[in-house]
């Protein structure tokens, strides 16, 4: 009889542990949402990204200021295509762990507080690490033209070793 009771108690403990763990994950996700500097924005629905990414436009370029600013949130594994900006771009890492790579160079591993200067007309890509979301503010010059979208970043390119 005691073995049967022990199994029953163990089953209850496992269910309670799983329930607490699920609630803790929900609370952590809610806390993370509450600590974002900018809102996540809308899901990006074009084919310039692999995986799920969101964009919150903060400033649109116009006739008075040719710079646009956007907050981009990448879910784990999400990334942009290779692309370039005729007037360059600056990335400010707000949260998470991400990657940045210029064509012909090693992939850089990015952390909260990092800043990247993307030179004009230089093919590059950026996105989240495989297991951590990544949030960046992208500051993009528009005075010399729009972003030029190139090839998809292959899994081999994405998974290549990087450097800090």
Picking from 119, 87, 122, 118, the residue whose alpha carbon sits closest to that of residue 103 is 122
For the chain, how many helices (H) and strands (E)?
Answer: 2, 13
What value, to the nearest 5°, has the Cα angle with vertex 76 and ends 73 and 29? 70
- In this predicted structure, the answer to whether residue 8 has a pLDDT above a threshold of 90 is no
Cβ atoms < 10 Å from Cβ of 46: 8
For 42-163, give the CATH class.
Answer: mainly beta
Average pLDDT over residues 81-93: 97
Q: Is the pTM of this model over 0.75?
A: yes
115-145 pLDDT, tens per residue?
A: 999 999 999 999 999 999 999 999 999 889 8
Picking from 94, 58, 80, 74, the residue whose alpha carbon sits closest to that of residue 148 is 80
């Amino acid at each position: 009889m005691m073995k049967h009771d022990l199994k029953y108690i163990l089953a209850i403990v496992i269910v309670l542990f799983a329930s607490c763990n699920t609630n803790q994950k929900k609370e952590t996700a809610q806390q993370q949402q509450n600590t974002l500097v900018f809102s996540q924005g809308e899901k990006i629905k074009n084919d310039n990204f692999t995986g799920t990414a969101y964009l919150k436009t903060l400033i649109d370029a116009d006739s008075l200021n040719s710079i646009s600013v956007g907050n981009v949130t990448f879910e784990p594994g999400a990334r942009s295509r290779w692309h370039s900006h005729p007037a360059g771009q600056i990335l400010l890492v707000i949260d998470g762990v991400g990657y940045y790579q210029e064509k012909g160079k090693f992939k850089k591993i990015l952390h909260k507080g990092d800043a990247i200067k993307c030179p004009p007309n230089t093919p590059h890509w950026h996105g989240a690490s495989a297991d951590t979301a990544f949030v960046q503010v992208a500051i993009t010059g528009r005075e010399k033209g729009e972003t030029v979208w190139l090839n998809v970043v292959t899994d081999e390119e994405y998974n290549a070793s990087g450097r800090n």
